[in-house]
Amino acid sequence: MANCVLVTGGAGFVGSHSVVELVAAGYSVVALDNLVNASMESMKRVEAITGKVIPAYTVDLLDKEALRDLFKKHKFTSVIHFAGLKAVGESCELPLLYYKTNVGGTMNLLEVMKENNLKNLIFSSSATVYGTPQYLPLDEKHPVGGCTNPYGKTKFFIEEILRDLSTSDPTWNIVLLRYFNPVGAHKSGTIGEDPQGPPNNLMPYIAQTAVGKRKELSVYGSDYDTPDGTGVRDYIHVVDLALGHVAAQKKLEENCGCKLYNLGTGNGLSVLDMVKAFEKASGKKVPHKICPRRPGDVGSCYANAELAEKELGWKATRGLDEMCEDLWRWQSQNPNGFKS
């Protein structure tokens, strides 16, 4: 039987790019998304890129019966779990919504997987679980749980649930992937990040400013202990990140138990580095103003991703110029995202 992967949140930014790479690697894929932060148009474009029909269902993980019905229709061999709310600021305003959606949705998914004796899972976690870095670069041994917002806490709690599950039943194979900052878009320019409302992340905001959709970029903090005073992060091309999930999928098939990997480049880049690189790629000015620091933001955060290279045979290979060029191609061809 061909490996059939259920991808939750498959119509989203990282989900859609991962579907493309999974299909390219020979997997059959079924996507599920509640479309709160995504559009089925992205799945149509994924089909155009891959030349394959990809069954895609509008299902919310909080609807357990709909999830059960989906498991009756298809025989899955593994699940890649992206679905969840992901805006840090919103999570501080609406913590109950975040806990219910992210943790509650995951509980339903795990219970339905268990009912169907399916015990292979890749979970989309986040570098936010590390909280304020005690040292850099961040490796997988760095303490976790000192999260600075409810979004990060939901990722941490889900990791803990999955660890407990694996300890209680070692026949589960689980790979936890802690991502750093995904940016860029597919080379075709037909799929990319399409934030609903004002972007919460730096690069979509820069791109929308360059394309004239936003007046200017707010740079929060210019007095951090970094080369130019602005915050430093580890930006990873979304296609590299997607390929990390293909590598993790292969790891699952080795009956790996519970494993944990950082997916990042290992390079820290500042806000102003990103602005300059994007101006170069787009040929547009990105007007910006310096604002006070935001509460909860850390000065620097970047990965040590050596373990993923050693155990998954995975490494980020796409650099800053490529990230910016691919993002600009997507943004300039789709100024209103999937609505254009």
Record the tokens describing residue 324, joined without a space: 């910016």
Q: Angle at Cα 301 formed by Cα 298 and Cα 307, nearest 5°?
A: 150
Residue found under tokens 């059960």: 68
Cβ proximity of 10 and 234 under 8 Å: no
State the DSSP code for 327.
Answer: H
Q: Tell me, yes or no, if 151 is annotated catalytic.
A: yes
Q: Is the dihedral of CA 178, 152, 321, 228 positive or negative?
A: negative
Say which residues have a Cβ less than 8 Å from residue 44's Cβ, sequence separation at least 6: none
**Cα 276 from Cα 290, distance rounded (Å):** 15
**338: part of which helix (H) or strand (E)?**
none
Phi, psi of 291 (to 5 degrees): -120, 170
Q: Which residues pair with 121 in a beta bridge?
A: 79, 174
**Cα 54 from Cα 31, distance rounded (Å):** 7
Reference 131, options 114, 119, 149; nearest CA is: 149
Phi, psi of 33 (to 5 degrees): -160, 140
Q: Write down the catalytic residue from 98, 151, 235, 261.
A: 151
The letter for the amino acid at 337 is G
336 CB neighbour count, 10 Å cutoff:
10
Q: How long a stretch of residues is the chain?
A: 340
**Cα 263 from Cα 239, distance rounded (Å):** 12
- Residues with active-site annotation: 151
